[in-house]
C-alpha cells in the first residue's frame, strides 16, 4: 500500500510548479510549496502514510464540515437550512455577489465563506471561550489528537486581512442571517480555520464521516448519521468550490479542500483520506493534491458513482 502511495505522489510531484501559494493571507505564503503527502485511516484500524504526511498546515475550509455538524446538532436542520442554502454557487469561495441578489438573502451553502461564517455563528455556548472550547474538543475527539492547537500567527494574519469576510458577516447580521455578535462569530471562524493539523488528522475526520458519525476508536455515535450524510452530500456538491463538478466526475468521492493545501476525502464505509500540497490552483484547491486523490481513487476503485 505504502509503495503504491509513494508512486502516486512521485507521479504528481511535477504538478506543484503550476500552482501558487496563497497571498491573500500573508502567513499562508510561508508554507513549503513543494510539500506533498497522503495518509489513510481505515475502518479496520489500519493507517498508512507516505510523503510529507507529518507536515503541519492549517485546516482552513476543511473546518467548515465540522462546524456544520456541530451547528446541526445544536440547532437542527430546519434552523440551519432556514438561513443557509443547499445549492452549489459556481462562484469563488469568497464571493459575496449573490448575497444581495437573492431575496430573501441566504448564502448558497455552508461550504462557501459566507455560509460557513453564518453556520459558525449558530454554535451554542454561554461565552466565547466556551464556544471555542466546544469546537476544539470536537476536533480533538474526532482526530484522536489531544495536542491540536490554533496556529496563532495564521489566526492573527486571518484576522488582520479578513475584511471581505468581515463585510459579508456584517451584511448577514443586517439581514438577520447572523443573530449573534458579528465580531465574536468572525473570531471563531478565523480560529477554526487556523487549527494546525497534519494529513493524519484530516484522514481521521474523513474516517469519522466514512463511519457515519461514529467514532472508530470507541464506537460512540457522536453525531447523527443523517447529519454525517448531509455533510458528505455538501462535500460532493460544494466541497471543492467551483471545481466540485469536475472533481466528482474525475475522482468520485466526497472531499473538502482548504487554502492551507489540505484535502480531506471520504471513501464511505471504507476509509478517510488526508492529502496535503500547499501549491494551489486558481480555484484554491491543492493542484497536486487533487491529482493524487484522482490516482488513489482510480487505483483502489473508490468512486461512489
Residue 111 CB, nearest approach to ligand DON (Å): 9
Among 49, 213, 239, 284, binds ligand DON (CB under 6 A): 284
Closer CB to ligand DON, residue 160 or residue 226? 160
Instruction: Report the SS3 class of residue 267.
Output: strand
Closer CB to ligand DON, residue 113 or residue 216? 113
CA distance 262 to 246: 18
Is the alpha carbon torsion for 23, 29, 35, 41 positive or negative?
negative
Residue 94 CB, nearest approach to ligand DON (Å): 6
CA distance 68 to 137: 15
Does position 261 interact with ligand DON (CB under 6 A)? The reply is no
Residue at grid coordinates 497522503: 38
Q: Interaction with ligand DON in 113-142: which residues (CB under 6 A)?
A: 113
Does position 259 interact with ligand DON (CB under 6 A)? The reply is yes
Q: Interaction with ligand DON in 31-60: which residues (CB under 6 A)?
A: 60
Degrees to nearest 5, angle at CA 18 with 15 and 19: 100
CA distance 303 to 108: 26
Residue 24 CB, nearest approach to ligand DON (Å): 7
Does position 89 interact with ligand DON (CB under 6 A)? The reply is no
Among 37, 49, 110, 258, binds ligand DON (CB under 6 A): 258
User: What is the rounded (10 degree) CA torsion for 132, 137, 139, 142?
Assistant: -160
Peptide bond into 161 cis (omega under 30): no
Query: Which stretch, 40-48, 141-149, 229-237, 252-260, contacts ligand DON (CB under 6 A)?
Result: 252-260
Residue 18 CB, nearest approach to ligand DON (Å): 17
Residue 150 CB, nearest approach to ligand DON (Å): 12
Closer CB to ligand DON, residue 89 or residue 211? 89
Among 31, 36, 50, 61, binds ligand DON (CB under 6 A): 61
Are 280 and 287 in contact by the 8 Å Cβ rule? The answer is yes
For the chain, how far is it from start to end, CA to CA, in angstroms?
23
Q: Interaction with ligand DON in 188-227: which residues (CB under 6 A)?
A: 193
What radius of gyration, in Å, describes the C-alpha atoms of the chain?
18
Instruction: Report the SS3 class of residue 285.
Output: coil
Q: Residue ranges of the alpha helices (H) in the chain?
A: 2-12, 63-83, 97-101, 113-121, 128-143, 152-161, 163-174, 182-193, 199-210, 225-238, 244-250, 287-299
Grid cell listed for 62: 476543511
Closer CB to ligand DON, residue 4 or residue 173? 173
What residues act catalytically?
Answer: 61, 64, 189, 241, 259
Q: What would the x/- binding string for ligand DON be over residues 152 to 171, using CB under 6 A? A: ------x------x------
Interface residues toward ligand DON, by CB under 6 A: 60-61, 93-94, 113, 158, 165, 193, 257-259, 284
Amino acid at each position: 500500500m505504502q509503495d503504491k502511495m509513494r508512486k502516486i505522489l512521485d507521479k504528481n510531484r511535477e504538478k506543484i510548479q503550476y500552482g501558487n501559494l496563497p497571498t491573500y493571507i500573508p502567513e499562508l505564503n510561508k508554507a513549503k510549496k513543494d510539500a506533498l503527502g497522503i495518509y489513510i485511516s481505515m475502518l479496520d484500524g489500519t493507517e498508512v502514510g507516505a510523503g510529507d504526511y507529518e507536515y503541519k498546515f492549517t485546516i482552513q475550509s476543511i473546518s467548515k464540515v465540522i462546524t456544520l455538524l456541530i451547528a446541526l446538532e445544536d440547532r437542527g436542520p430546519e434552523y440551519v437550512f432556514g438561513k443557509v442554502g443547499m445549492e452549489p454557487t459556481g462562484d469563488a469561495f469568497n464571493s459575496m455577489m449573490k448575497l444581495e441578489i437573492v431575496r430573501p438573502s441566504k448564502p448558497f451553502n455552508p461550504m462557501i465563506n459566507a455560509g460557513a461564517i453564518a453556520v459558525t455563528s449558530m454554535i451554542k455556548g454561554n461565552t466565547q471561550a466556551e464556544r471555542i472550547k466546544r469546537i476544539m474538543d470536537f476536533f480533538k475527539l474526532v482526530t484522536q489528537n489531544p495536542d491540536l492547537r490554533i496556529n496563532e500567527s495564521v489566526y492573527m494574519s486571518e484576522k488582520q486581512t479578513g475584511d471581505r469576510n468581515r463585510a459579508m458577516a456584517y451584511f448577514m447580521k443586517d439581514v438577520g442571517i447572523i443573530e449573534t455578535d458579528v465580531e465574536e462569530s468572525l473570531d471563531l471562524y478565523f480560529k477554526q480555520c487556523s487549527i494546525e493539523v497534519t494529513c493524519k488528522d484530516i484522514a481521521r475526520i474523513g474516517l469519522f464521516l466514512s463511519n457515519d458519525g461514529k467514532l472508530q476508536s470507541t464506537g460512540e455515535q457522536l453525531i447523527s448519521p443523517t447529519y454525517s450524510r448531509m455533510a458528505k452530500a455538501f462535500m460532493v456538491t460544494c466541497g471543492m468550490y467551483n471545481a466540485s463538478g469536475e472533481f466528482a466526475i474525475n475522482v468520485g468521492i466526497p472531499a473538502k479542500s482548504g487554502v492551507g493545501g489540505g484535502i480531506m476525502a471520504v471513501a464511505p464505509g471504507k476509509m478517510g483520506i488526508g492529502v496535503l500540497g500547499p501549491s494551489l490552483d486558481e480555484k484554491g484547491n491543492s493542484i497536486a493534491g487533487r491529482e493524487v486523490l484522482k490516482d488513489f481513487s482510480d487505483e483502489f476503485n473508490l468512486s461512489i458513482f
